[in-house]
Amino acid sequence: MNRRVACQAEPNRRVSRREFLVTGLKLGALTGGAGFIVPAAWAALTFDAETPLIAAPKDPAAWPEFRRRLAAWRQQRRQQLNYADTLYRRPEFTWASRCFACCFLMLGDEIAYDARRGRCRVGEFLAHGAREFGGYDAVVLWHAYPRLGFDERNQFDFYRDLPGGLPGLRRVAGELQARGTRVFIDYNPWDRGTRRESQGDLDALVEIVRVTGADGIFLDTLDRGAGELRPKLDAARPGVVLESEIALPLDGVHDHHLSWAQWFADSAAPGVLRNKWFERRHLQHQIKRWHHDHTGELHTAWMNGSGMMIWENVFGSWVGWSARDRSLLRAMLPIQRHFAGLFQGEGWTPLVPTAQPALYASAWEGGDLRLWTLVNRSEQTVHGPLLPVPDQPARFFDLIAGREVQPALRNGAAVLTGSIAPRGLGGFVALPAGRRLEAGFRSLLRGQQALARRARQDAAFPARTTVLEPPPPGKKHARVPDDAFELPAASFTMTVEFRSRECGFYDSCGAQAFNGEGLHQPRIFTRPVTIARAAMDLTPVTNIQFAEFLRASHYRPRHPENFLRHWSGGAPPPGQEEHPVVYVDLEDARAYARWAGKRLPTEEEWQYAAAGPGHTRFPWGDEMRTGVCNPGGGGTTPVRAFPAGRSALGGYDFCGNVWHWTESERTDGRTRFCVLKGGSWYRAAGSDWYADGGPLPCRWAAKFLLVWPGLDRCATIGFRCVTELTAG
């Protein structure tokens, strides 16, 4: 069975993310997460230079012929494509070939945004990146998925609705750039079912780039950008690069300076990145985002002089890097940055001889420099002779340890000796014997010594605990209010249904629960639940009720963006006084509840109130019917418009009109989220990647990532309240 990852897309074909999630997870199962295939599986493979990662032969005796064929293939393909490197030679693009470390940042990640204080934390974010990973050369500011589809806002609206709008995003980008970090925005070509722009997607995208000053575009689910995108970008802002998610075809290398190397399957002897070999200045970011072991990706990057994608908060699921993997990347990056010219030059020789069977090396030459990158593929420390070196006057330096070393003579040949940890990296450089060490190189050595002292071999997954914020205590009442129904005390087994999405479920470590084969499929969770006696409002809070709250309390949100966006002149839309209030975030809803002497219902209370003691699938019974709830498509309806849809306990409008906030806020210190219930009138169509909409069963739950008020306030989310009662 040929187990190479089928990651190469046909030219201009958009590939669903599911194909790549499933492929990557299957690869992880085959490889034990290490990221390369067992040697026996590769023994019979023939040379195939058209795969995204060209597998290397197992036998060292075959390496010279492998290199010869690589060189011949490169020359032939460049001639066939009439390859021109014009864009790589333009000075405004040269930064891209040095972009070794790119961070995929979820906007709203608590490491970069302080929700309590309402401020971006650019300095703290970059300091964390420098401390843990060795610093970022670029960051992808990811914004929309998995939130797209909860209302009609499109991907461009999500950038506009960030703190401060596009000018605010420009300030954040400027602060990142001032500290040496380039900025990517992303493009989601599958977003066709939300609100449409007055101009085409490409023009809207270019306008976002122009206004924000972004340096690049990450092309989600694409193997390349449209042909007209490059000239549009050049006209708007010089030096903006394109980076594809799917394996970039060779004929796209000339105008795409970067590409992902996502779930590329490597051979036991490290293979060669096709695009990097073809164009040495093309930089690829290795990524297996659901894996807990990144040594395979790090090995590929180190042996190919290429880069890494650092991504721990995967759409709201925590997939943190181990201490060992962070240590390896911290050791790599200063060397790659210092010798960037070598890694993008013509003097690359893959798979040069080493002195150990589990040890592999690439050589890099330029001018009077010679550098070797080594990887230990075994699970044991490699110790003793490591690398044969030319027997000529030179000074040798161990770049990982940051110290000068002397070759030893073994059987009359010069050999560098030392030790490389299990799954670890090695690096050596030879300088002319009489050369004076430059200040920058001496600084590199000192820095590497410090990094070596703090290096760790702990490969354990750094799990996070998701904490549920307790509901605020409310004033207890002796009787059920007139506008409410009794929610009796109850103990029961609660069944909750999620759609399997990359944001995960209740647990922070969503990757452990995520199953690529079941992506977009329902997932069922059960847990024992006990609720105390309470009273729940008969209906969701309406526009007119919220208007009374504002008059009486003089409430004004700290961040007013999109607050009651559908109102006009401080009043509800005429004729919608009895519609549920929307464009309120979780804090707005809590403020109303406090004013009313109530609180928001917990998820458990909401579901029991909707499904009743019989735990019916819908408030009115177990089957979907017409005429019992808002069917969708036309906006909100009055909260008492469908009396036939009342729940067994007497509540109106639990299903299909608006999603309901619940008192279910959770955080793992990186991602805040809340569970929504009920579905809404809006349903985005055309892609499985959109959030669910329309009427949904009582047990259905949606994990809603909390970003900031301007984004969290939606046309489709309202709330109802609970009054705490004394026992009796």
Joined tokens for residue 266: 């490597």
Cβ distance 600 to 663 under 8 Å? yes
pTM of the shown model: 0.92
Our count of domains for the chain comes to 3
**DSSP, residue by residue, 655-704:** SSS-EE--S--EE-SS-EEEEEBSEES----S-TTSPP-EE--TTB-EEE
Cβ distance 382 to 359 under 8 Å? yes
Least confident of 18-32, 277-291, 707-721: 18-32
pLDDT of residue 41: 35
Residues 455 and 471 in one domain: no
The Cα 702–Cα 505 span in angstroms is 8
Give residue for tokens 């050596």. Answer: 428
Whether residue 676 has pLDDT greater than 50: yes
- Look at residues 638, 655, 637 and name the one whose alpha carbon lies nearest to residue 646: 655
Cβ distance 723 to 597 under 8 Å? yes
Cβ distance 647 to 620 under 8 Å? yes
Count CB atoms within 10 A of the CB of residue 76.
Answer: 11
pLDDT band for position 514 (cuts 50, 70, 90):
low
Give residue for tokens 């925590």. Answer: 318
Residue 13 vs residue 315, higher pLDDT: 315
Least confident of 237-246, 515-524, 714-723: 515-524
Cβ distance 216 to 243 under 8 Å? yes
Residues 702 and 593 in one domain: yes
pLDDT of residue 10: 32
Is the residue at 674 inside a domain? yes
Residues 286 and 433 in one domain: no
Residues 482 and 563 in one domain: yes
Fill in the DSSP letter of residue 621.
Answer: B
- Convert the pLDDT of each residue in 613-641 to its tens digit: 999 999 999 999 999 999 998 999 999 99
Is the residue at 666 inside a domain? yes
What is the CB-side half-sphere exposure of residue 110 using CA atoms within 13 A? 15
Residues 491 and 517 in one domain: yes
The Cα 350–Cα 70 span in angstroms is 10
Boundary (domain end) residue, out of 407, 434, 459: 459
Is the residue at 397 inside a domain? yes
CATH code of residue 523: 3.90.1580.10
Is the residue at 242 inside a domain? yes
CATH code of residue 232: 3.20.20.70
Boundary (domain end) residue, out of 430, 459, 488: 459
Fill in the DSSP letter of residue 620.
Answer: T
Q: Is the dihedral of CA 189, 195, 196, 202 positive or negative?
A: negative
DSSP helix, strand, coil percent of the chain (3-state; round to 5) = 30, 25, 50
Residue 46 vs residue 693, higher pLDDT: 693
- Look at residues 593, 104, 467, 537 and name the one whose alpha carbon lies nearest to residue 319: 104
The Cα 296–Cα 293 span in angstroms is 7
Quote the domain boundaries for residue 364: 345-459
Is the residue at 55 inside a domain? no
Residues 233 and 381 in one domain: no
CATH code of residue 381: 2.60.40.1180
Residues 510 and 563 in one domain: yes
Residues 510 and 475 in one domain: yes
The Cα 713–Cα 414 span in angstroms is 68
Distant-in-sequence, close-in-space partners of 51: CB < 8 Å, separation ≥ 6: 4, 8, 274
Whether residue 383 has pLDDT greater than 60: yes
Residue 295, H or E segment: helix 295-304
Boundary (domain end) residue, out of 279, 305, 321: 321
Burial class from Cβ neighbours inside 10 Å (0-12, 13-18, 19+) for residue 283 reads buried
Q: Which residues pair with 679 in a beta bridge?
A: 695
One-letter amino acid at 72 equals: A
Is the residue at 278 inside a domain? yes
Task: Name, of 13-22, 454-463, 469-478, the range with top average pLDDT.
Answer: 454-463
The Cα 542–Cα 304 span in angstroms is 60
How many angstroms separate the Cα of 591 from the Cα of each of 348, 557, 599? 63, 9, 9
Whether residue 24 has pLDDT greater than 70: no
Cis omega (within 30 of 0) for bond into 163? no
Fill in the DSSP letter of residue 254.
Answer: G
Residues 471 and 455 in one domain: no
Is the residue at 24 inside a domain? no
- Look at residues 549, 528, 473, 470 and name the one whose alpha carbon lies nearest to residue 722: 473
The Cα 558–Cα 525 span in angstroms is 37
- Convert the pLDDT of each residue in 41-57 to its tens digit: 333 346 888 999 999 99
Return mean pLDDT, the chain.
92
pLDDT band for position 118 (cuts 50, 70, 90):
confident
- Convert the pLDDT of each residue in 230-259 to its tens digit: 999 999 999 999 999 999 999 999 999 999
pLDDT of residue 42: 36
Distant-in-sequence, close-in-space partners of 143: CB < 8 Å, separation ≥ 6: 107, 155, 158, 159, 162, 185, 186
Joined tokens for residue 174: 């400027």
Residues 450 and 474 in one domain: no
Give residue for tokens 């490591």. Answer: 386
Residue 320, H or E segment: none
Number of helices followed by number of strands (H, E) in the chain: 18, 36
Whether residue 11 has pLDDT greater than 90: no
Residues 283 and 351 in one domain: no
Q: What angle is formed at CA 639 by the lines to CA 637 and CA 642, rounded to 5 degrees? A: 80
Provide the percentage of residues in the chain whose pLDDT is more than 70: 92
Residues 429 and 471 in one domain: no
Is the residue at 57 inside a domain? no
